[in-house]
Structure 1
Amino acid sequence: MPQSLAWFAAHDSRRERLTSRHVLRRLGGRWVSNQRVALVTGGARGIGAAITRRLARNGITVAAGFSKGRETAERLQSELLSDGASVIVVQGRVDDPADCSRVVEEVLAKYGHVDYLINNAGITVDKTMRKMTHEDWQAVLNVNLYGAFCMTKAVLEHMIERGFGRIVNISSVIGETGNVGQANYAASKAGLFGFSKSLALEMSQRGITVNCVAPGFIETEMVAAIPEAALTKVIEKIPQRRLGQPDEVARVVEFLLDDESSYITGAVYSVNGGLDM
């Protein structure tokens, strides 16, 4: 059995659910949790919510970031807290450096450390190039690419100081293939490939891995907004002839965060049903 498949089988069969009753210890001026802590941007909806659920239900403390939609975020938090998971929700804009620093400080103040950063926040403003405005272009690049830079910048020195970290950037198959009406989105997601590989090289001897997950068409609200006729044509191009599920992406993210994945860095994992073949 390939190593990655063996990991999934082993972890699904022997996973013990942890609860929020974890141990705190004093380190410098902070109380530090002995439980691993993940910060997931865009962590309350779509793929981000699936990542939050999977990590939280498998014993990782999760800070789920969101920019708007507090009710949705708090509903997810309540769901997971009722399962005995350890979850907080934190509001902020990923394209605002001050907000990113504040969010990280909130998490550090509560738990003492951040082990994992998942840069998942993303938006679309789809128009052909002739109709796309400068504002349309910049809005998408600001959230999808600059946002990953800002959030990584806010947490990186902390990870370097601790000598440990896992950063996973959620890109897209569109960053590899391009798509009509998505020049801004494709550019932002392609940029995450170069960002991830460059940062992986810089952090390669500091105990920090940086990887990319590139989903294809996943069954989320974003994909549900695609007109039915257009979506049918998309599915016909996918070798598996189906949309992916958010948890199928979340499983790959969880794998990349694991201690046993420490030799994987600068990689791009495609989760797209074979769409890029």
Structure 2
Amino acid sequence: MLTGKLALVTGAGGGIGRAVCQLLAEAGAKIMAADCNHTAAKETISLLANNDHMARRMDVSDSQDVKAAFDNIQSKYYKPPEVVVNAAGIVRDNFLLKISEEDFQKVFDVNVKGTFLVTKKACEVLVDIGAAGSIINISSVVAKRGNIGQCNYASSKAAVETFTKCVAREMADYNIRCNVVLPGFIATTMTNEIPEKVKNMFKSMIPMKRFGTPEEVAQMIKFLASDESSYITGSSFYVSGGIE
């Protein structure tokens, strides 16, 4: 499905990003696993089937770091990534009356600015060589619903969805597609720390009455990365167990 394709996955050190790396590699892609935690990115690479992958520490909110990562990719593989998955994201949850300006800004720097910087650089290098590409961004169901204690996170994910639609319109002439996935409540190390009583409350809100898995989100991303989705761009895809 993805044989011969090169994929850059940010936030590759765990959770959805790691699951994406594993599924894309199984489908034949070469993986550049990028994460602010280099050790975690290397751990992801160690789980993949062959050795023709690479890990790199990358701060997606730093334009120079993003440029250096793309230069690194092209020096190793002699081409830019045709698939880019912007899975890097952070939370700094707090109630509106308690959240600091610093925590509000940091979430936007990573979730929105980071997605912008990586997407812009990917499009620049693909347009430069006349190559097609597929960019998949990660939003969240809370972008639609809002959520108590997540005014920064929910707002940033809403921005990611709208940004995706703008990119899709601008880049369609260059055969570069851009879509966005909106996960619901996904079982990760982050959700493992939530008290069982609170998890049960969340599950009661979900029509399917369970959390999703990173692999279920990654399956949608694998489809959007492949040529099987060649006529899909600017679209939003829920992977949420029925919650919207």
TM-score (normalizing by structure 1): 0.84
Unpaired runs of 5+ in structure 1? Answer: 1-10, 19-34
Structure 1 match to 2:183? 215
Measure the CA separation in 1 of the matches of 2:53 and 2:199. 34
The structural deviation recorded for 1:73 is 2.2
Structure 2 match to 1:93? 59
Residue 103 of structure 1, aligned match among 69, 83, 89: 69
Unpaired runs of 5+ in structure 2? Answer: none
Measure the CA separation in 2 of the matches of 1:255 and 1:116. 11
Structure 2 match to 1:225? 193
Amino acid of the residue matched to residue 164 of structure 1?
A
The structural deviation recorded for 1:259 is 1.1
User: Is 1:116–1:167's contact at 8 Å kept on the other side of the alignment?
Assistant: yes
Residue 203 of structure 1 aligns to a residue whose secondary structure is helix
User: Is 1:171–1:190's contact at 8 Å kept on the other side of the alignment?
Assistant: yes
Structure 1 match to 2:239? 271
Measure the CA separation in 2 of the matches of 1:173 and 1:251. 17
The structural deviation recorded for 1:270 is 0.2
Measure the CA separation in 1 of the matches of 2:53 and 2:185. 28
Amino acid of the residue matched to residue 241 of structure 2?
G
The structural deviation recorded for 1:85 is 5.5
1:173-211 deviations in Å (ceiling 9; x for gaps): 111111000000000100011100001000111110000
User: Is 2:179–2:233's contact at 8 Å kept on the other side of the alignment?
Assistant: yes
1:47-66 mapped onto 2 (5 Å cutoff): 47-66=16-35
1:195-254 deviations in Å (ceiling 9; x for gaps): 000010001111100000000011111222323222110001100000101110111001
Q: Which shifted more, 198-207 or 225-234?
A: 225-234
Measure the CA separation in 2 of the matches of 1:141 and 1:227. 27
**Residue 118 (1) aligns with residue 109 (2):** no
Structure 1 match to 2:164? 196
1:24-56 deviations in Å (ceiling 9; x for gaps): xxxxxxxxxxx2100000012100000000001
TM-score (normalizing by structure 2): 0.95
- Of structures 1 and 2, the larger Rg is shown by 1
Residue 214 of structure 2, aligned match among 246, 249, 268: 246
State, as a whole percentage, how many aligned pairs show the same letter: 38
Structure 2 match to 1:129? 96
Amino acid of the residue matched to residue 234 of structure 1?
F
Aligned alpha-carbon RMSD (Å): 1.4
